[in-house]
Amino acid sequence: MTVKIATRKSKLAVTQTDLVIEHIKKKNNNIECEKVKLQTEGDRRLDVTLDKIGGKGVFTKEIEYALLDGRAHGAVHSMKDMPFALGDDFKLTAIPEREDPRDAFISMNGMNFKDLPKGARIGTGSIRRDAQLRLLRPDIEIVPIRGNVQTRISKIEKENLHGIILAAAGLKRLGMECIIKDYFDPYDFVPSVGQGALGVETLKDGENIQVFESIDNKEVRICVEGERSFMRTLNGGCHVVIGAYGTLDKDRLHMVGIFKIGDKIIKKDIEGYAEDNIKLGEALAEKIIRAENYVK
């Protein structure tokens, strides 16, 4: 049996799909996997920020078409690229693993983030990172950049930047951990919802769906779905500053979240039973809304 798996064409996306294939082959004997490489609108439109071209869905729509027309049985996404609402035909069938969820700093000359000079130029295409960077260092200049990992790293020199912020997970999966100069604490510099996690999307009644179900990681799913519940409650996406991170300790789930309302970034946390992860995400969002009303 051959299972066809859709992926974006970037080196990181293909590497992540290879990781999913490894999981599948460990769980299922006699399964062959074939990658279906596609280019999405988000890959083509590198001249503008994501919030200007439709947000997270620009990385998933073309891949979902491949599921609908039968070119692929499943699709691998970075969970942070997935909209909180899937179409009626689709299902998030597996969340197999989570790499390091933190954001990372890569510098031009080996300088640590804390040692950057006043007016340093830092590149990022994320409004979440932009907003949190400005809280840490109001004196630095934020330069918008987009593209795959290699393209953004090359822009350090091309754009005369002091450094850039990237997801640690992607760098580690590409074997590029050595270029990371600093990691940001995920409770201080809150990651994107689902950052570091992979997701496998299928049709709800898709062919070979049981193959993908076999690699689902229950603990990772609890955290990521709690974070996505927070995002869904606040109607979050690439057009707003939002982040969340959940961790499990036995049967307890702890989550921290940020959300920008007006000119204020509000951060709150919450803890409860892991089985209540969806309700905890909703409650965390409501906590932030109540806090915003209080400080008005």
- pLDDT recorded at residue 53: 38
- pLDDT recorded at residue 292: 66
3-state secondary structure of 134: helix
Class of 217-296 per CATH? Answer: alpha beta
Rounded to two decimals, the pTM is 0.90
- pLDDT recorded at residue 58: 63
- The one-character DSSP state at 197 is B
**Using N-to-C axis directions, what is the helix angle for 277-295 and 218-233, rounded to 10°?**
30
CATH topology identical between 1-96+197-216 and 103-183: yes
Class of 103-183 per CATH? Answer: alpha beta
E strands present in the chain: 2-8, 32-38, 74-78, 90-94, 103-107, 121-123, 141-143, 163-167, 182-183, 198-203, 242-249, 252-261, 264-273
Which residue numbers are catalytic? Answer: 81
Are 255 and 249 in contact by the 8 Å Cβ rule? The answer is no
User: Of 25, 71, 13, 86, which is closest to residue 214 (Cα–Cα)?
Assistant: 25
Give the start-to-end residue ranges of the domains of the chain: 1-96+197-216, 103-183, 217-296
Query: What is the C-alpha to C-alpha distance for residues 224 and 98, in angstroms, rounded to an integer?
Result: 9
CATH superfamily of 1-96+197-216: Periplasmic binding protein-like II (3.40.190.10)
pLDDT per residue rounded down to tens, the chain (296 residues):
899 999 998 999 999 999 999 999 999 888 999 999 998 665 554 444 444 434 555 667 888 889 999 999 999 999 998 888 888 999 999 999 899 999 999 998 889 999 999 999 999 999 999 999 999 999 999 999 988 899 999 999 999 999 999 999 999 999 999 999 999 999 999 999 999 999 999 999 988 999 999 999 999 999 999 999 999 999 877 788 999 999 999 999 999 999 999 889 999 999 999 999 999 999 999 999 988 665 54
Query: What is the C-alpha to C-alpha distance for residues 239 and 231, in angstroms, rounded to an integer?
Result: 12
- pLDDT recorded at residue 84: 87
* Two tokens, residue 221: 């799913």
- pLDDT recorded at residue 164: 97
The gap from C-alpha 147 to its chain's centroid, in whole angstroms, comes to 15
- The one-character DSSP state at 127 is H
